[in-house]
Amino acid sequence: MSIKKLYSNELLASFEYSNIDRDYDFYYVTTSDKYIKSGAAFLDIDDIKISALQFESGKSFLVMLPKNSTSRAEFVRLLNEKE
């Protein structure tokens, strides 16, 4: 009896990077401290509409926001207020 190959959970995806860039702003946030003190508490800030978030470590994360929903300066100000 021979066993055939089984593939599961495979996803073939293609991305329209120009559309992603058109619709979203991305920010990379990092700290020189041992970790980000507020953690993910900034998710509770009503003025920031976060579409996606990925922590790389306790010191850095990437965040995706709807295009032009929050300026860079405003984003930094809100993060600093939350700490």
- What does each C-alpha distance from 20 to 12, 17, 25, 43, 64 come to in angstroms? 18, 5, 9, 21, 10
pLDDT at 60: 87
pLDDT at 47: 76
Per-residue pLDDT of the chain (83 residues; tens, 9 = 90+): 666 777 778 788 889 999 999 999 999 988 888 777 766 676 677 778 889 888 887 788 899 999 999 899 998 888 887 76
Question: What ranges do the domains of the chain cover?
Answer: 25-82
pLDDT at 20: 95
pLDDT at 77: 87
H-helix or E-strand spanning residue 73: helix 72-82
